[in-house]
Structure formats: structure tokens, C-alpha cells
Amino acid sequence: MKIIFHCYSGSYYSATAAAVYLHLLPINRVPAAVEFDRLPYFDAIAPKDYGKLYMMGCDDRGNEVFIMARRSLDKVAVRVLRGIAKIYGFSPNDLIFIDSTGPLSNLLSFGNFLSVRLGLPKLGRPLVVREIRRLYSHFPALSREAEHLVHNGNLQTTP
């Protein structure tokens, strides 16, 4: 089974949600700012890389976990990936999609702009981390949603 966490830019909400699911970040407390430094792809996906799948790791059942930046094409991206999987003979239930889009945040957008678009991570990343920490209560529920779908069989329908 493949689990794909997706959001607008892939660098923040998806990377954090996948990290919580993979136990790279805690589920029961807000991580310290330095804990984000060890996350693959956090604050690192540039606009030229939108639409690509990035493997974050494997869960305790051996399922591969990916993140993806899909801009505002959430339903289209999921339909395309399900269609490609079907062409290659995969069952639709072999793919789990978790929309990890969180609350809109001007501070997060500004931090992303500084860090990724302007190439100034020393200025942008602290803003991004501060905002993700403030919004952290959003991520355990996404981890539990993925856990439920893996554990009980994926019965997601195509959007």
C-alpha cells in the first residue's frame, strides 16, 4: 500500500503530517523547533518540483509513505494518480490519499515566500516553524486518519 499526504506546497503540512504518521515527530506534544531540522523535504520543495512524489519512509507495516505538492489541484491530482495506478494494474485500494491541507496562514505563506521563492531560509524557516508549531494540533488527526485507513482497509472513493 502507498500512502500519499498532499497539500498545496508539500513542504509544510504534508511533510509534517507524514512525519507524525511515521513517528518522526511526536503525536502527543508540540515538537521543539529543532526537531523540524531532521525532517526530509520540510521547507525544501520548490515550485519547479510541484507534482512530484517524495518518499518520506515506510510505516511499521512496510507501507511506503509519500508527500506531494499539488497546488490547488487536489481532486485532479488524486484522480490522475488513481487512473495511472489502474492502468498499471494496481487496485484503487492500494493508494491512500490524505489531504493534509491545514488552516490558511499568512505567516506560513510569507515564510515560504522568503525561504523557498527568495532563497532566504534563514529568514523564512523560523517563521514557518513557528507557525507549524502553533497549528500543530491539526496533525495528529491526519495521522489517525491514515492509521485508520491502513488498519481497516482503504475504502476511499475517487473524488
Question: Is pTM, for the whole model, over 0.85?
Answer: yes
Specify the pLDDT at position 120.
94
The answer on pLDDT for 74 being more than 60 is yes
Q: In what order do the strands lie in the sheet with 64-69?
A: 53-58, 64-69, 2-7, 95-99
Q: Could you read off the pLDDT of 25-39 as tens digits, one per residue?
A: 999 999 999 999 999
pLDDT of residue 157: 54
